[in-house]
Amino acid sequence: MICVDATLFGSPNEPLASLLYRYWFWGWLFVDVSHRDLFRRAEALRHNVAQRVHLPCYMRRWSLCTFMMLGLGFALERGIANPWSIASAYTAAVLALMVLIVTASGWLLLATCERRG
């Protein structure tokens, strides 16, 4: 994971790698819920449920990436292409699909926490 000062988020001095990480991955939005203190755990869970609203944006990005990689794979199959390039496009599509599934699972899990709390 990239270690960047959180005060740089959204500023002109933010490194490009940090900006790209925050664009594609949502881990920076959430807080660890494994605290031993009951009040901190409840506060972290409320924070995570509130941040749930941002996950559909990430799901759209990853679904677009999945469909683009699938389209690239289909296009490479139709033309005369190296089998390694076709396999690379399909592998990237499967990996993007896995990220999409994990994101949707987290979104649904936080929805059930929202209804219970």
pTM: 0.82
Q: Is residue 6 scored above 70 in pLDDT?
A: no
Q: What is the pLDDT of residue 17?
A: 82
Backbone φ and ψ for 46, nearest 5 degrees, come out as -60, -40
- 58-96: pLDDT as tens digits: 999 999 999 999 999 999 999 877 899 999 999 999 999
**Res 61: pLDDT:** 96
Q: What is the dihedral of CA 21, 24, 29, 31, to 10 degrees?
A: -80
Question: Token pair of 76, please?
Answer: 């490479």
Domain limits, the chain: 1-30, 31-116
Asked whether the beta carbons of 30 and 51 are under 8 A apart, the reply is yes
Inform me whether the pLDDT recorded for 117 exceeds 70: no
